[in-house]
């Protein structure tokens, strides 16, 4: 018998029976949904609070760096990396620490931070920046071949910078023809993009051209033909 043909009393009993049978399940579903909503809001609030705290630490770190307080900069950067390892600010802190090591003449100590950002950062641009800086450090460490291997990936919008640093690596190897090719490619890739110092590249290209010319053996000039001896008149 369907509900539409039940009497009022029968419908009331039917509702009571359904409530008794499914009421706990419905109440549980409502409770779970309510807890889920509040839990999600709490989680989002927690994430926002962590993001704000990380941003404040990053601001303090950059302020210390601007005031050339290297000790404080390193301390804040270390805390930022430890407390918020998944934050984009942590990647920035690693790049700053690497920069400080390089400035202090301790390039080898910069390699782990740069490698970590290059391999694990979620930010594509930061990965490229770390890769370029690592390649420069490797060149300074006397490892130009490793620098060239580091820049083997697709450069994307950083093509001009990749070509220039590869040119520096080839120059360090005294592979001047390859260096010249890379510098010219960097100049072409950077035209109108702002991704290359055109004046500096022009100087590098000119220097390589002069170097190649100076290294080339002199071309011997052809000796003029000997004049035919005059025959004595009889």
User: Once rounded to an integer, what is the mean pLDDT over residues 162-186?
Assistant: 94
Confidence of residue 53 (pLDDT cuts 50, 70, 90): confident
Q: Both 190 and 82 in a single domain?
A: no
- Mean pLDDT lowest among 57-61, 82-86, 110-114, 214-218: 214-218
User: Once rounded to an integer, what is the mean pLDDT over residues 37-54?
Assistant: 62
pLDDT exceeds 90 at position 8: no
Domain assignment present for residue 2? The answer is no
pLDDT exceeds 50 at position 6: no
Alpha carbon of 174 to those of 16, 77, 169, 207, 231: distances in Å? 92, 38, 9, 13, 58
pLDDT exceeds 80 at position 207: yes
The answer to whether residues 166 and 149 touch, using CB atoms and an 8 Å cutoff, is no
Q: Both 138 and 165 in a single domain?
A: no
Contacts of 23 (CB under 8 A, 6+ apart): none
Task: Give the span between the Cα atoms of 174 and 107, in whole angstroms.
Answer: 22
**pTM value > 0.85:** no
Domain assignment present for residue 172? The answer is yes
Query: Which has the higher per-residue pLDDT, 93 or 40?
Result: 93
| pLDDT reported for residue 70 | 92
User: Which residue among 92, 115, 143 closes a domain?
Assistant: 143
Q: Both 54 and 81 in a single domain?
A: yes
Full domain range(s) for residue 80? 25-143
Domain assignment present for residue 3? The answer is no
Chain segment 138-149, per-residue pLDDT in tens: 999 999 999 999
| pLDDT reported for residue 102 | 94
pLDDT exceeds 90 at position 112: yes
Whole-number average pLDDT of the chain: 79
Q: Both 69 and 179 in a single domain?
A: no
- Give 79-85's long-range contacts (Cβ < 8 A, gap of 24+): 80/54, 83/53, 83/54, 83/57, 84/50, 84/53, 84/54, 84/57
Number of domain units in the chain: 2
- How is residue 121 annotated by DSSP? -
Three-class SS state of 41: helix
The upper half-sphere exposure of residue 198, i.e. CA atoms within 13 Å in the direction of its Cβ, equals 7
| pLDDT reported for residue 22 | 55
Q: Both 115 and 161 in a single domain?
A: no
Three-class SS state of 77: helix
User: Which residue among 90, 120, 143 closes a domain?
Assistant: 143
pLDDT exceeds 90 at position 226: no
pLDDT exceeds 80 at position 121: yes
Q: Both 63 and 107 in a single domain?
A: yes
Three-class SS state of 58: helix
Q: Both 94 and 194 in a single domain?
A: no
Domain with 92 in it: what CATH number? Answer: 1.25.40
| pLDDT reported for residue 78 | 93
Task: Give the span between the Cα atoms of 121 and 125, in whole angstroms.
Answer: 9
Q: Both 190 and 137 in a single domain?
A: no
Rg over CA atoms, the chain: 36
Task: Give the span between the Cα atoms of 169 and 146, in whole angstroms.
Answer: 9
Query: Which has the higher per-residue pLDDT, 111 or 40?
Result: 111
| pLDDT reported for residue 208 | 86
How many residues in total does the chain contain? 234
């Amino acid at each position: 018998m369907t509900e539409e043909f039940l009497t009022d009393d029968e419908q009331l009993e039917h509702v009571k029976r359904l409530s008794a049978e499914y009421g706990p399940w419905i109440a549980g579903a409502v409770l779970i949904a309510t807890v889920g909503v509040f839990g999600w809001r709490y989680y989002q609030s927690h994430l926002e609070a962590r993001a704000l705290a990380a941003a404040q630490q990053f601001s303090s770190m950059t302020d210390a760096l601007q005031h050339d307080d290297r000790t404080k900069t390193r301390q804040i950067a270390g805390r930022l990396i430890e407390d918020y390892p998944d934050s984009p600010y942590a990647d920035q802190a690693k790049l700053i620490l690497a920069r400080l090591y390089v400035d202090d003449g301790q390039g080898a100590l910069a390699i782990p931070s740069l490698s970590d950002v290059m391999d694990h950062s979620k930010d594509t641009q930061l990965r490229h920046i770390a890769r370029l800086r690592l390649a420069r450090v490797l060149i300074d460490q006397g490892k130009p071949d490793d620098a060239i291997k580091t820049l083997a990936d697709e450069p994307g919008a950083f093509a001009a910078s990749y070509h220039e640093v590869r040119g520096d690596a080839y120059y360090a190897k005294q592979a001047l023809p390859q260096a010249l090719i890379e510098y010219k490619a960097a100049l072409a890739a950077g035209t109108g993009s702002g991704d290359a110092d055109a004046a500096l590249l022009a100087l590098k290209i000119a220097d390589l051209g002069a170097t190649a010319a100076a290294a080339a053996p002199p071309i011997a000039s052809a000796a003029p033909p000997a004049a035919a001896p005059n025959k004595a008149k009889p």
